[in-house]
Amino acid sequence: PFIIGLLINILLIILGREISFGGHEVVRIIFFVFSAFLFFSLQIFIFYLISSFSSSPNFSLLISTFVWITFVIIIPNTTWILARIIRDVPTKEHIVRTEDILKKGNIDPDCNWGWNSVWKREAPNPRIYNLASCFDKVDELHNNLFLEYRNKLFNQTELAINISSISPYYSFKFLNEKVSNNGYYKFKDFYLNLSNYVLIFKNFINSRDNEDQASYHLIFNHKYLCEAFMSRKNVDKNLIPQFMYDEKTTFIELIKLCSKEIIILLSWLIGVILLLFISFTRYDVR
């Protein structure tokens, strides 16, 4: 049934006129078939191993159900609780309170946040530079807090994933998320690529502004206020850096990306086969 379903889906993709099907997709399908073969083989050998210890079908079914519940429900849920205890992540409310405290302690209390529209028609004066400095400090505080929160959240999630990968069922799940470029790994990879693009885009804006002799070169984090003090020259849209999301699609890249899950599944498979061999050599096959 698995092979038939896979072939039907591949046939539908090939026949679809608006769906591209190239070498990258073939590599992913090969990886998916290989991981499915490992997983299904492991399941079969686990059931054989359980059956070898008992001549009662009811008892074997009971143990098989217990093993399935342990691997699919107990281990993953326990590991998420464990990860929250080991690597605590502050709530968003805590981040907001911390940001307010840091603002009061690090921002100049004499900084007046009022804005006079007349300032947009004149060169920046000390008052404007002070406002720009205040905006930049607030932006830096916010970014540092958010970066710390993001890294802690990533670390907590990855700890839970690493522990729950002990279960072959979840190793198979995370392996297919990587192969299909989906789930947590897709989100993290996409987010890091996007963060890198933001830095590239900021550098592009600064470089263009520095080339304009008529600009006051005062850029701060307020899209409506700083526009009067930075370059207003038009930019060729072809020169603007484009966001490119680099997916890991080559054979070598996928092997490196999925090596941990493949090793776990292979280790489980080899271990169960060895136990099954020992069981068959020590007991009569029932």
pLDDT over threshold 60, residue 26: yes
* Average pLDDT, integer, range 46-70: 84
**Which H helix or E strand runs over 150?**
helix 126-164
**What's residue 115's pLDDT?**
58
What integer pLDDT is reported at residue 270 of this predicted model?
Answer: 93
Position 268 scores a pLDDT of 92
Whether the per-residue pLDDT at 112 is higher than 60: the answer is no
Integer Cα distance of 64 and 116 in angstroms: 74
What token pair was written down for 33? 């078939």
Averaged pLDDT, 191-218: 85
**Residue whose tokens read 């399935």:** 68
Least confident stretch, 20-29, 40-49, 212-221: 20-29
Q: What is the pLDDT of residue 110?
A: 57
pLDDT at 16: 62
State the average pLDDT over residues 66-72: 87
Lowest mean pLDDT among 4-8, 27-31, 70-74, 87-91: 4-8
Give the pLDDT mean for 17-40: 76
Mean pLDDT, residues 102-119 = 61
Highest-confidence range of 85-89, 104-108, 155-159, 233-237, by mean pLDDT? 155-159
pLDDT recorded at residue 109: 59
- Rounded Cα distance between 107 and 94, Å, is 19
- Tell me the torsion sign for CA atoms 176, 182, 188, 193: positive
pLDDT tens for each residue of 114-143: 555 656 656 777 777 777 777 788 788 888
- Average pLDDT, stretch 98-118? 64
Mean per-residue pLDDT of the chain:
80
- pTM attached to this predicted model: 0.73
pLDDT tens sequence across 248-271: 667 777 788 888 888 999 999 999
How does residue 283 score in pLDDT terms, banded at 50, 70 and 90? low
DSSP-based three-state secondary structure for 27: helix
Q: In 10 A of CB 52, how many CB atoms?
A: 19
Q: Worst-scoring range by mean pLDDT, 201-205, 217-221, 233-237?
A: 217-221
Per-residue pLDDT band for 22 (boundaries 50, 70, 90) equals low
Arithmetic mean of pLDDT, 77-103: 82
